[in-house]
Protein backbone atom coordinates (compact mmCIF):
# COMPACT_ATOMS: atom_id res chain seq x y z
CA UNK A 1 0.00 0.00 0.00
CA UNK A 2 2.76 2.60 0.71
CA UNK A 3 4.14 1.81 -2.77
CA UNK A 4 0.78 2.90 -4.23
CA UNK A 5 0.03 5.84 -1.97
CA UNK A 6 3.56 7.25 -2.09
CA UNK A 7 5.02 6.16 -5.46
CA UNK A 8 8.74 6.61 -6.06
CA UNK A 9 10.77 6.14 -9.24
CA UNK A 10 13.07 3.64 -7.52
CA UNK A 11 10.08 1.35 -6.96
CA UNK A 12 8.57 1.53 -10.44
CA UNK A 13 11.18 2.58 -13.03
CA UNK A 14 12.41 -0.38 -15.12
CA UNK A 15 15.94 -0.78 -16.44
CA UNK A 16 15.76 1.01 -19.82
CA UNK A 17 17.99 -1.71 -21.30
CA UNK A 18 15.05 -4.12 -20.99
CA UNK A 19 13.55 -2.43 -24.08
CA UNK A 20 14.79 -3.62 -27.45
CA UNK A 21 17.11 -1.14 -29.20
CA UNK A 22 17.28 1.16 -26.16
CA UNK A 23 21.02 0.67 -25.67
CA UNK A 24 21.73 1.10 -29.39
CA UNK A 25 19.77 4.36 -29.41
CA UNK A 26 21.50 5.66 -26.27
CA UNK A 27 24.92 4.76 -27.67
CA UNK A 28 24.28 6.52 -30.99
CA UNK A 29 22.92 9.60 -29.23
CA UNK A 30 25.97 9.62 -26.96
CA UNK A 31 28.20 9.46 -30.06
CA UNK A 32 26.40 12.48 -31.46
CA UNK A 33 26.86 14.39 -28.19
CA UNK A 34 30.58 13.61 -27.97
CA UNK A 35 31.20 14.39 -31.66
CA UNK A 36 29.13 17.56 -31.66
CA UNK A 37 26.84 16.25 -34.42
CA UNK A 38 23.53 17.89 -35.22
CA UNK A 39 20.59 15.91 -33.85
CA UNK A 40 17.05 16.73 -34.99
CA UNK A 41 14.04 15.72 -32.93
CA UNK A 42 11.17 15.10 -35.36
CA UNK A 43 7.99 14.93 -33.27
CA UNK A 44 4.27 14.59 -33.83
CA UNK A 45 2.20 17.77 -33.51
CA UNK A 46 0.19 16.61 -30.47
CA UNK A 47 0.94 16.91 -26.74
CA UNK A 48 2.76 13.58 -26.57
CA UNK A 49 5.00 14.68 -29.43
CA UNK A 50 5.64 18.09 -27.90
CA UNK A 51 6.43 16.75 -24.43
CA UNK A 52 8.66 13.92 -25.68
CA UNK A 53 10.59 16.39 -27.84
CA UNK A 54 10.92 18.77 -24.88
CA UNK A 55 12.18 15.96 -22.61
CA UNK A 56 14.95 14.96 -25.03
CA UNK A 57 15.76 18.54 -26.04
CA UNK A 58 16.25 19.59 -22.42
CA UNK A 59 18.30 16.46 -21.74
CA UNK A 60 20.53 16.93 -24.78
CA UNK A 61 21.09 20.59 -23.96
CA UNK A 62 22.04 19.63 -20.41
CA UNK A 63 24.70 17.18 -21.61
CA UNK A 64 26.33 19.68 -23.96
CA UNK A 65 24.47 19.20 -27.26
CA UNK A 66 22.47 21.71 -29.30
CA UNK A 67 19.57 19.75 -30.81
CA UNK A 68 17.13 21.02 -33.43
CA UNK A 69 13.43 20.18 -33.64
CA UNK A 70 11.01 19.66 -36.49
CA UNK A 71 7.23 19.46 -36.13
CA UNK A 72 5.31 18.73 -39.35
CA UNK A 73 2.39 20.93 -40.30
CA UNK A 74 -0.86 19.01 -39.74
CA UNK A 75 -2.58 20.44 -42.83
CA UNK A 76 0.31 20.62 -45.29
CA UNK A 77 2.31 17.52 -44.30
CA UNK A 78 0.03 15.33 -42.20
CA UNK A 79 1.02 12.82 -39.56
CA UNK A 80 4.51 11.38 -39.35
CA UNK A 81 7.64 11.86 -41.42
CA UNK A 82 7.78 12.29 -45.17
CA UNK A 83 10.79 11.31 -47.23
CA UNK A 84 11.04 14.92 -48.44
CA UNK A 85 11.22 16.28 -44.88
CA UNK A 86 13.85 13.76 -43.79
CA UNK A 87 16.02 14.39 -46.84
CA UNK A 88 15.69 18.15 -46.29
CA UNK A 89 16.94 17.69 -42.72
CA UNK A 90 19.90 15.72 -44.08
CA UNK A 91 20.66 18.52 -46.55
CA UNK A 92 20.60 21.07 -43.70
CA UNK A 93 23.26 19.13 -41.81
CA UNK A 94 21.39 16.74 -39.54
CA UNK A 95 23.54 13.70 -38.74
CA UNK A 96 20.83 11.90 -36.75
CA UNK A 97 17.04 12.16 -36.61
CA UNK A 98 14.91 10.93 -33.71
CA UNK A 99 11.28 10.30 -34.66
CA UNK A 100 9.01 10.84 -31.64
CA UNK A 101 5.42 9.59 -31.37
CA UNK A 102 5.53 8.57 -35.03
CA UNK A 103 7.54 6.38 -37.37
CA UNK A 104 6.44 2.84 -36.51
CA UNK A 105 4.59 2.60 -39.85
CA UNK A 106 6.99 4.86 -41.83
CA UNK A 107 8.64 2.13 -43.94
CA UNK A 108 9.34 3.96 -47.20
CA UNK A 109 10.22 7.22 -45.46
CA UNK A 110 12.81 5.66 -43.15
CA UNK A 111 14.20 3.62 -46.07
CA UNK A 112 14.69 6.86 -48.04
CA UNK A 113 16.59 8.37 -45.10
CA UNK A 114 18.73 5.24 -44.71
CA UNK A 115 19.57 5.22 -48.42
CA UNK A 116 20.69 8.85 -48.09
CA UNK A 117 22.97 8.00 -45.17
CA UNK A 118 20.79 9.57 -42.47
CA UNK A 119 20.38 7.29 -39.44
CA UNK A 120 16.97 7.36 -37.76
CA UNK A 121 15.91 6.40 -34.24
CA UNK A 122 12.21 5.76 -33.66
CA UNK A 123 10.65 6.28 -30.22
CA UNK A 124 6.95 5.49 -30.44
CA UNK A 125 4.13 3.61 -28.74
CA UNK A 126 1.69 3.08 -31.60
CA UNK A 127 0.69 -0.37 -32.81
CA UNK A 128 3.33 -2.08 -34.94
CA UNK A 129 3.11 -4.42 -37.91
CA UNK A 130 5.05 -7.67 -37.87
CA UNK A 131 7.81 -5.89 -39.82
CA UNK A 132 9.56 -2.71 -38.70
CA UNK A 133 11.05 0.19 -40.65
CA UNK A 134 14.82 -0.02 -41.34
CA UNK A 135 15.76 2.36 -38.54
CA UNK A 136 18.91 2.28 -36.46
CA UNK A 137 16.68 1.64 -33.43
CA UNK A 138 12.95 1.23 -32.83
CA UNK A 139 12.00 1.74 -29.19
CA UNK A 140 8.38 0.70 -28.90
CA UNK A 141 6.91 -1.60 -26.22
CA UNK A 142 4.14 -2.47 -28.70
CA UNK A 143 6.55 -4.11 -31.14
CA UNK A 144 5.38 -7.61 -32.00
CA UNK A 145 8.59 -9.17 -30.68
CA UNK A 146 8.28 -7.26 -27.38
CA UNK A 147 4.67 -8.35 -26.92
CA UNK A 148 5.46 -11.93 -27.93
CA UNK A 149 8.22 -12.14 -25.31
CA UNK A 150 5.90 -10.85 -22.61
CA UNK A 151 8.86 -9.31 -20.78
CA UNK A 152 9.51 -5.97 -19.11
CA UNK A 153 8.81 -3.91 -22.22
CA UNK A 154 5.48 -5.65 -22.83
CA UNK A 155 4.55 -4.96 -19.21
CA UNK A 156 5.01 -1.28 -20.03
CA UNK A 157 3.02 -1.31 -23.28
CA UNK A 158 0.78 1.46 -21.92
CA UNK A 159 3.59 4.05 -21.83
CA UNK A 160 3.16 6.99 -24.15
CA UNK A 161 6.13 8.41 -26.05
CA UNK A 162 6.85 10.98 -23.32
CA UNK A 163 7.30 8.11 -20.85
CA UNK A 164 9.58 6.29 -23.30
CA UNK A 165 11.56 9.47 -24.00
CA UNK A 166 12.23 9.75 -20.28
CA UNK A 167 13.60 6.19 -20.26
CA UNK A 168 15.81 7.04 -23.24
CA UNK A 169 17.05 10.11 -21.36
CA UNK A 170 17.95 7.85 -18.42
CA UNK A 171 19.79 5.45 -20.75
CA UNK A 172 21.63 8.33 -22.48
CA UNK A 173 22.79 9.89 -19.22
CA UNK A 174 23.95 6.47 -18.00
CA UNK A 175 25.93 5.93 -21.21
CA UNK A 176 27.51 9.41 -21.03
CA UNK A 177 28.38 8.82 -17.38
CA UNK A 178 30.21 5.66 -18.43
CA UNK A 179 32.13 7.70 -21.02
CA UNK A 180 33.16 10.34 -18.47
CA UNK A 181 31.09 13.17 -19.96
CA UNK A 182 30.26 14.56 -16.53
CA UNK A 183 33.83 15.17 -15.52
CA UNK A 184 33.36 18.64 -17.05
CA UNK A 185 29.58 19.05 -16.87
CA UNK A 186 27.08 18.63 -14.05
CA UNK A 187 24.94 15.53 -14.48
CA UNK A 188 21.33 16.40 -15.39
CA UNK A 189 18.64 15.94 -12.74
CA UNK A 190 16.19 14.01 -14.87
CA UNK A 191 13.48 14.01 -12.20
CA UNK A 192 13.04 17.69 -13.07
CA UNK A 193 11.46 16.54 -16.36
CA UNK A 194 8.63 14.60 -14.76
CA UNK A 195 6.14 17.47 -15.11
CA UNK A 196 6.53 17.10 -18.88
CA UNK A 197 6.14 13.32 -18.66
CA UNK A 198 2.97 13.75 -16.60
CA UNK A 199 1.46 16.16 -19.13
CA UNK A 200 2.15 13.83 -22.06
CA UNK A 201 0.84 10.79 -20.19
CA UNK A 202 -2.49 12.33 -19.17
CA UNK A 203 -3.07 14.21 -22.44
CA UNK A 204 -2.54 10.98 -24.41
CA UNK A 205 -5.11 9.21 -22.18
CA UNK A 206 -2.70 6.56 -20.92
CA UNK A 207 -3.78 4.25 -18.06
CA UNK A 208 -2.75 5.77 -14.72
CA UNK A 209 -1.44 2.52 -13.31
CA UNK A 210 2.06 1.30 -12.49
CA UNK A 211 4.84 3.47 -13.87
CA UNK A 212 2.40 5.89 -15.53
CA UNK A 213 0.77 6.60 -12.18
CA UNK A 214 4.19 7.24 -10.66
CA UNK A 215 5.14 9.56 -13.50
CA UNK A 216 1.97 11.61 -13.00
CA UNK A 217 2.03 11.66 -9.19
CA UNK A 218 5.64 12.90 -9.13
CA UNK A 219 5.11 15.16 -12.14
CA UNK A 220 2.24 16.96 -10.43
CA UNK A 221 4.47 17.66 -7.43
CA UNK A 222 7.10 19.03 -9.79
CA UNK A 223 4.47 21.13 -11.59
CA UNK A 224 3.39 22.68 -8.28
CA UNK A 225 6.89 24.16 -8.00
CA UNK A 226 6.38 25.99 -11.32
CA UNK A 227 10.04 25.48 -12.25
CA UNK A 228 9.36 25.02 -15.97
CA UNK A 229 8.80 28.54 -17.32
CA UNK A 230 6.52 27.34 -20.12
CA UNK A 231 4.31 25.24 -17.88
CA UNK A 232 4.11 28.06 -15.33
CA UNK A 233 2.95 30.46 -18.06
CA UNK A 234 0.44 27.88 -19.25
CA UNK A 235 -0.98 27.58 -15.73
CA UNK A 236 -1.34 31.35 -15.60
CA UNK A 237 -3.28 31.69 -18.86
CA UNK A 238 -5.52 28.79 -17.75
CA UNK A 239 -6.21 30.62 -14.46
CA UNK A 240 -4.60 27.90 -12.34
CA UNK A 241 -2.11 28.16 -9.49
CA UNK A 242 -1.20 24.50 -9.81
CA UNK A 243 -2.90 21.53 -11.45
CA UNK A 244 -4.54 18.19 -10.88
CA UNK A 245 -4.32 15.28 -13.29
CA UNK A 246 -7.68 16.38 -14.68
CA UNK A 247 -6.31 19.86 -15.34
CA UNK A 248 -3.49 18.37 -17.41
CA UNK A 249 -6.05 16.78 -19.70
CA UNK A 250 -8.70 19.51 -19.79
CA UNK A 251 -6.79 22.77 -19.45
CA UNK A 252 -3.06 22.45 -20.22
CA UNK A 253 -3.07 19.73 -22.86
CA UNK A 254 -5.58 21.42 -25.20
CA UNK A 255 -3.58 24.64 -25.13
CA UNK A 256 -0.33 22.85 -26.05
CA UNK A 257 -2.26 21.05 -28.79
CA UNK A 258 -3.75 24.24 -30.20
CA UNK A 259 -0.65 25.20 -32.17
CA UNK A 260 -0.61 21.90 -34.02
CA UNK A 261 -4.36 22.01 -34.63
CA UNK A 262 -5.05 25.55 -35.87
CA UNK A 263 -1.77 27.47 -35.62
CA UNK A 264 2.00 27.04 -35.87
CA UNK A 265 2.91 23.41 -35.23
CA UNK A 266 6.00 23.92 -33.07
CA UNK A 267 4.58 26.46 -30.60
CA UNK A 268 4.12 23.75 -27.95
CA UNK A 269 7.73 22.55 -28.15
CA UNK A 270 9.03 26.10 -28.03
CA UNK A 271 6.91 26.85 -24.97
CA UNK A 272 7.98 23.72 -23.09
CA UNK A 273 11.70 24.22 -23.79
CA UNK A 274 12.15 27.93 -23.16
CA UNK A 275 13.79 29.16 -19.97
CA UNK A 276 12.86 32.80 -20.64
CA UNK A 277 9.74 33.78 -18.62
CA UNK A 278 8.88 36.63 -20.99
CA UNK A 279 9.02 34.37 -24.05
CA UNK A 280 7.00 31.77 -22.15
CA UNK A 281 4.28 34.30 -21.37
CA UNK A 282 4.13 35.38 -25.02
CA UNK A 283 3.92 31.81 -26.33
CA UNK A 284 1.35 30.79 -23.73
CA UNK A 285 -0.84 33.77 -24.61
CA UNK A 286 -0.63 32.87 -28.32
CA UNK A 287 -1.58 29.25 -27.58
CA UNK A 288 -4.45 30.40 -25.36
CA UNK A 289 -5.84 32.53 -28.20
CA UNK A 290 -5.47 29.66 -30.66
CA UNK A 291 -7.24 27.35 -28.23
CA UNK A 292 -10.19 29.73 -28.09
CA UNK A 293 -10.34 29.70 -31.89
CA UNK A 294 -10.09 25.92 -31.85
CA UNK A 295 -13.08 25.67 -29.50
CA UNK A 296 -15.25 27.69 -31.87
CA UNK A 297 -14.29 25.54 -34.86
CA UNK A 298 -14.75 22.38 -32.80
CA UNK A 299 -18.29 23.35 -31.73
CA UNK A 300 -19.34 23.86 -35.35
CA UNK A 301 -17.84 20.56 -36.55
CA UNK A 302 -19.24 18.67 -33.55
CA UNK A 303 -22.78 19.78 -34.36
CA UNK A 304 -22.38 18.70 -37.98
CA UNK A 305 -20.74 15.39 -37.05
CA UNK A 306 -23.51 14.49 -34.60
CA UNK A 307 -26.05 15.08 -37.34
CA UNK A 308 -24.02 12.98 -39.80
CA UNK A 309 -23.14 9.96 -37.67
CA UNK A 310 -25.39 6.89 -37.47
CA UNK A 311 -25.78 6.27 -33.71
CA UNK A 312 -26.77 2.64 -34.26
CA UNK A 313 -23.60 1.37 -35.94
CA UNK A 314 -20.91 -0.25 -33.73
CA UNK A 315 -18.41 2.41 -34.82
CA UNK A 316 -19.93 5.84 -35.39
CA UNK A 317 -18.40 7.35 -38.54
CA UNK A 318 -19.04 10.95 -39.51
CA UNK A 319 -17.61 12.48 -42.68
CA UNK A 320 -17.99 16.03 -43.88
CA UNK A 321 -16.68 18.26 -46.62
CA UNK A 322 -14.37 21.06 -45.48
CA UNK A 323 -14.22 20.12 -41.81
CA UNK A 324 -11.02 21.42 -40.21
CA UNK A 325 -8.59 18.47 -39.85
CA UNK A 326 -7.16 20.09 -36.73
CA UNK A 327 -10.26 19.42 -34.64
CA UNK A 328 -11.48 16.05 -35.90
CA UNK A 329 -9.73 14.14 -33.11
CA UNK A 330 -11.46 16.21 -30.44
CA UNK A 331 -14.79 15.90 -32.23
CA UNK A 332 -14.33 12.12 -32.41
CA UNK A 333 -13.90 12.18 -28.64
CA UNK A 334 -17.13 14.16 -28.29
CA UNK A 335 -19.00 11.62 -30.44
CA UNK A 336 -17.54 8.76 -28.44
CA UNK A 337 -18.78 10.34 -25.20
CA UNK A 338 -22.21 11.17 -26.57
CA UNK A 339 -22.83 7.82 -28.32
CA UNK A 340 -20.89 5.56 -25.91
CA UNK A 341 -19.11 3.76 -28.75
CA UNK A 342 -15.94 4.20 -30.84
CA UNK A 343 -16.15 7.12 -33.25
CA UNK A 344 -14.22 8.24 -36.32
CA UNK A 345 -14.53 11.72 -37.80
CA UNK A 346 -13.31 12.24 -41.37
CA UNK A 347 -12.53 15.59 -43.00
CA UNK A 348 -13.16 15.34 -46.74
CA UNK A 349 -11.50 17.57 -49.33
CA UNK A 350 -13.17 16.89 -52.65
CA UNK A 351 -11.77 13.80 -54.36
CA UNK A 352 -8.45 13.99 -52.49
CA UNK A 353 -7.60 11.42 -49.79
CA UNK A 354 -9.51 12.35 -46.63
CA UNK A 355 -8.01 12.62 -43.14
CA UNK A 356 -9.71 10.84 -40.27
CA UNK A 357 -9.23 10.59 -36.53
CA UNK A 358 -10.82 8.10 -34.16
CA UNK A 359 -11.34 7.66 -30.43
CA UNK A 360 -12.36 4.43 -28.74
CA UNK A 361 -13.88 3.19 -25.51
CA UNK A 362 -12.18 0.92 -22.98
CA UNK A 363 -12.19 -2.68 -24.15
CA UNK A 364 -12.29 -1.91 -27.90
CA UNK A 365 -8.90 -1.77 -29.66
CA UNK A 366 -9.44 0.75 -32.44
CA UNK A 367 -5.76 1.06 -33.39
CA UNK A 368 -5.42 -2.66 -34.21
CA UNK A 369 -8.58 -2.53 -36.34
CA UNK A 370 -7.29 0.50 -38.27
CA UNK A 371 -3.98 -1.23 -38.99
CA UNK A 372 -5.87 -4.30 -40.22
CA UNK A 373 -8.01 -2.07 -42.46
CA UNK A 374 -4.80 -0.67 -43.94
CA UNK A 375 -3.39 -4.13 -44.64
CA UNK A 376 -6.66 -5.03 -46.43
CA UNK A 377 -6.28 -2.03 -48.74
CA UNK A 378 -9.15 -0.01 -47.30
CA UNK A 379 -6.89 2.86 -46.22
CA UNK A 380 -4.10 4.88 -47.78
CA UNK A 381 -2.47 5.10 -44.34
CA UNK A 382 -3.43 4.41 -40.77
CA UNK A 383 -2.22 3.53 -37.31
CA UNK A 384 -2.70 4.21 -33.64
CA UNK A 385 -3.17 2.52 -30.30
CA UNK A 386 -6.13 1.00 -28.50
CA UNK A 387 -7.83 4.27 -27.57
CA UNK A 388 -7.00 6.48 -30.55
CA UNK A 389 -6.15 6.18 -34.23
CA UNK A 390 -5.49 8.28 -37.28
CA UNK A 391 -6.11 7.39 -40.91
CA UNK A 392 -6.12 8.56 -44.51
CA UNK A 393 -8.87 7.15 -46.72
CA UNK A 394 -10.11 7.69 -50.26
CA UNK A 395 -13.62 9.18 -50.08
CA UNK A 396 -15.12 6.34 -52.11
CA UNK A 397 -13.73 3.79 -49.62
CA UNK A 398 -15.50 5.25 -46.56
CA UNK A 399 -18.55 2.94 -46.86
CA UNK A 400 -16.31 -0.12 -47.15
CA UNK A 401 -14.30 1.04 -44.14
CA UNK A 402 -17.48 1.51 -42.13
CA UNK A 403 -18.68 -1.98 -43.01
CA UNK A 404 -15.32 -3.53 -42.12
CA UNK A 405 -15.14 -1.79 -38.73
CA UNK A 406 -18.72 -2.77 -37.95
CA UNK A 407 -17.88 -6.42 -38.61
CA UNK A 408 -14.46 -6.28 -36.92
CA UNK A 409 -15.46 -4.37 -33.76
CA UNK A 410 -19.19 -5.06 -33.56
CA UNK A 411 -18.91 -8.02 -31.13
CA UNK A 412 -16.68 -6.08 -28.71
CA UNK A 413 -18.91 -3.00 -28.81
CA UNK A 414 -22.02 -5.13 -28.40
CA UNK A 415 -20.54 -6.88 -25.40
CA UNK A 416 -19.86 -3.57 -23.71
CA UNK A 417 -23.32 -2.23 -24.49
CA UNK A 418 -24.99 -5.29 -23.00
CA UNK A 419 -22.97 -5.19 -19.79
CA UNK A 420 -22.40 -1.60 -18.76
CA UNK A 421 -23.00 -1.48 -15.02
CA UNK A 422 -22.36 1.69 -13.07
CA UNK A 423 -19.88 0.76 -10.38
CA UNK A 424 -20.37 2.55 -7.04
CA UNK A 425 -17.47 2.74 -4.61
CA UNK A 426 -19.11 4.58 -1.71
CA UNK A 427 -22.58 5.62 -0.57
CA UNK A 428 -22.98 8.73 1.57
CA UNK A 429 -25.82 10.79 3.01
CA UNK A 430 -26.06 14.34 1.64
CA UNK A 431 -24.40 15.73 4.79
CA UNK A 432 -21.43 13.45 4.11
CA UNK A 433 -20.46 15.35 0.96
CA UNK A 434 -17.74 17.51 2.52
CA UNK A 435 -14.28 18.86 1.64
CA UNK A 436 -12.91 16.35 4.15
CA UNK A 437 -14.40 13.47 2.15
CA UNK A 438 -12.80 14.86 -1.01
CA UNK A 439 -9.40 15.12 0.68
CA UNK A 440 -9.61 11.56 2.01
CA UNK A 441 -10.46 10.19 -1.42
CA UNK A 442 -7.72 12.24 -3.10
CA UNK A 443 -5.08 10.43 -1.04
CA UNK A 444 -5.40 7.48 -3.44
CA UNK A 445 -4.91 9.69 -6.54
CA UNK A 446 -3.95 10.89 -9.04
CA UNK A 447 -6.91 9.56 -10.98
CA UNK A 448 -7.38 9.04 -14.68
CA UNK A 449 -7.68 6.35 -17.32
CA UNK A 450 -8.05 2.88 -15.69
CA UNK A 451 -7.50 4.43 -12.25
CA UNK A 452 -10.77 6.33 -11.95
CA UNK A 453 -11.70 8.53 -9.03
CA UNK A 454 -14.10 6.77 -6.64
CA UNK A 455 -17.72 7.10 -7.68
CA UNK A 456 -20.00 8.18 -4.85
CA UNK A 457 -23.75 7.58 -4.66
CA UNK A 458 -25.79 10.15 -2.75
CA UNK A 459 -29.44 10.55 -1.90
CA UNK A 460 -32.31 10.78 -1.62
CA UNK A 461 -32.13 14.44 -2.59
CA UNK A 462 -35.05 16.79 -3.28
CA UNK A 463 -34.14 19.04 -6.19
CA UNK A 464 -34.58 22.76 -5.45
CA UNK A 465 -33.05 24.17 -8.63
CA UNK A 466 -32.19 22.72 -12.05
CA UNK A 467 -30.78 24.82 -14.86
CA UNK A 468 -28.71 24.75 -18.01
CA UNK A 469 -25.55 26.87 -18.14
CA UNK A 470 -25.42 29.74 -20.61
CA UNK A 471 -22.67 27.96 -22.57
CA UNK A 472 -21.41 24.41 -22.87
CA UNK A 473 -24.72 22.67 -22.33
CA UNK A 474 -23.96 21.76 -18.70
CA UNK A 475 -26.75 21.01 -16.21
CA UNK A 476 -26.49 22.37 -12.66
CA UNK A 477 -28.50 21.15 -9.68
CA UNK A 478 -29.13 22.32 -6.14
CA UNK A 479 -30.79 19.81 -3.84
CA UNK A 480 -31.61 19.23 -0.20
CA UNK A 481 -31.36 15.96 1.71
CA UNK A 482 -33.61 14.66 4.49
CA UNK A 483 -30.75 15.52 6.85
CA UNK A 484 -31.06 19.20 5.88
CA UNK A 485 -27.78 19.31 3.95
CA UNK A 486 -27.72 21.19 0.64
CA UNK A 487 -25.85 19.62 -2.27
CA UNK A 488 -24.62 21.20 -5.49
CA UNK A 489 -24.01 19.00 -8.54
CA UNK A 490 -23.20 19.45 -12.23
CA UNK A 491 -23.34 17.16 -15.25
CA UNK A 492 -21.15 18.39 -18.10
CA UNK A 493 -22.35 18.64 -21.71
CA UNK A 494 -25.54 16.82 -20.73
CA UNK A 495 -28.35 19.24 -21.61
CA UNK A 496 -29.20 17.50 -24.89
CA UNK A 497 -28.92 13.93 -23.55
CA UNK A 498 -31.77 11.84 -22.08
CA UNK A 499 -30.35 12.02 -18.55
CA UNK A 500 -29.88 15.77 -18.98
CA UNK A 501 -33.53 16.18 -19.92
CA UNK A 502 -34.50 14.25 -16.78
CA UNK A 503 -32.33 16.49 -14.62
CA UNK A 504 -33.66 19.71 -16.15
CA UNK A 505 -37.21 18.59 -15.39
CA UNK A 506 -36.45 17.36 -11.87
CA UNK A 507 -37.26 20.47 -9.81
CA UNK A 508 -39.41 19.39 -6.90
CA UNK A 509 -38.64 15.71 -7.45
CA UNK A 510 -36.40 13.40 -5.44
CA UNK A 511 -33.30 11.87 -7.04
CA UNK A 512 -30.39 9.60 -6.25
CA UNK A 513 -27.14 10.93 -7.76
CA UNK A 514 -23.84 9.24 -8.65
CA UNK A 515 -20.58 10.93 -9.51
CA UNK A 516 -17.17 12.18 -8.40
CA UNK A 517 -16.53 14.39 -5.39
CA UNK A 518 -14.86 17.69 -6.27
CA UNK A 519 -13.61 20.40 -3.93
CA UNK A 520 -14.55 23.97 -4.81
CA UNK A 521 -12.59 26.74 -3.08
CA UNK A 522 -14.10 30.17 -3.74
CA UNK A 523 -13.53 33.47 -1.91
CA UNK A 524 -12.09 31.74 1.14
CA UNK A 525 -14.95 29.25 1.34
CA UNK A 526 -14.53 25.51 0.74
CA UNK A 527 -17.32 23.20 -0.25
CA UNK A 528 -17.67 19.85 -1.96
CA UNK A 529 -19.88 19.25 -4.96
CA UNK A 530 -20.69 16.28 -7.16
CA UNK A 531 -19.70 15.99 -10.83
CA UNK A 532 -22.36 13.63 -12.08
CA UNK A 533 -22.08 10.42 -14.07
CA UNK A 534 -25.72 9.39 -13.68
CA UNK A 535 -28.95 9.97 -11.76
CA UNK A 536 -32.07 7.98 -10.89
CA UNK A 537 -35.54 9.18 -9.93
CA UNK A 538 -36.43 8.14 -6.35
CA UNK A 539 -40.09 9.23 -6.22
Residues 109 and 84 sit within 8 Å (Cβ to Cβ): no
Helix axes 47-62, 194-203, angle to 10 degrees: 160
CATH T-level topology, domain 309-418: Diaminopimelate Epimerase; Chain A, domain 1 (3.10.310)
Structural domain spans, the chain? 12-289, 309-418, 426-537
**The domains spanning 309-418 and 426-537 adopt the same CATH topology:** no
Is the domain 426-537 a CATH 2.40.50.460 member? yes
Q: b/e for 301-321, b at 16 or more Cβ within 10 A?
A: bbebbbebbeeebbbbbbbbe
CATH T-level topology, domain 12-289: inorganic pyrophosphatase (n-terminal core) (3.90.1640)
pTM tops 0.85, yes or no = yes
Strand 316-321 and strand 381-385: pairing?
unpaired
Mean pLDDT of 203-216: 95
Q: What is the pLDDT of residues 412-437, one digit of tens each?
A: 988 876 556 788 999 999 999 999 99
Stretch among 120-124, 383-387, 502-506 having the lowest mean pLDDT: 383-387
Please enumerate in sequence order all residues whose Cβ is within 8 A of that of 329, keeping only pairs 6 or more positions apart, or say none: 345, 357, 359, 388, 390
- Residue 45 is given by DSSP the state S
Q: What pLDDT shows up at residue 423?
A: 87
Q: What is the pLDDT of residues 312-321, one digit of tens each?
A: 899 999 999 9
pLDDT at 1 over 70: no
Mean pLDDT of 110-125: 98
Amino acid sequence: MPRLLHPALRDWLPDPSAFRDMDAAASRLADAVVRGERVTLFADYDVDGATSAAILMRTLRAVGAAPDHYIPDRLLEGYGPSAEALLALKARGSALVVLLDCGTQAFTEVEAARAAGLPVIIVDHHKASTALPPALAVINPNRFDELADGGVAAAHASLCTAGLAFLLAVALVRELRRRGQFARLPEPRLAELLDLVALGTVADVMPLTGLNRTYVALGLKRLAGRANAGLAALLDVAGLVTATAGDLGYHLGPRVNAGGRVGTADLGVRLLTTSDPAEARRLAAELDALNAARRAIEAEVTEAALASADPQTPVAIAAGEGWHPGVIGIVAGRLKERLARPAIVIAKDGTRPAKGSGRSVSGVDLGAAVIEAKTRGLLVAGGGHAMAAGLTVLPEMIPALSAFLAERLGPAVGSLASSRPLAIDLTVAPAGLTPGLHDALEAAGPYGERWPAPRVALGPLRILEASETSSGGHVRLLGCGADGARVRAVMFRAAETPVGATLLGAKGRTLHLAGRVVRNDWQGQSRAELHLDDAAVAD
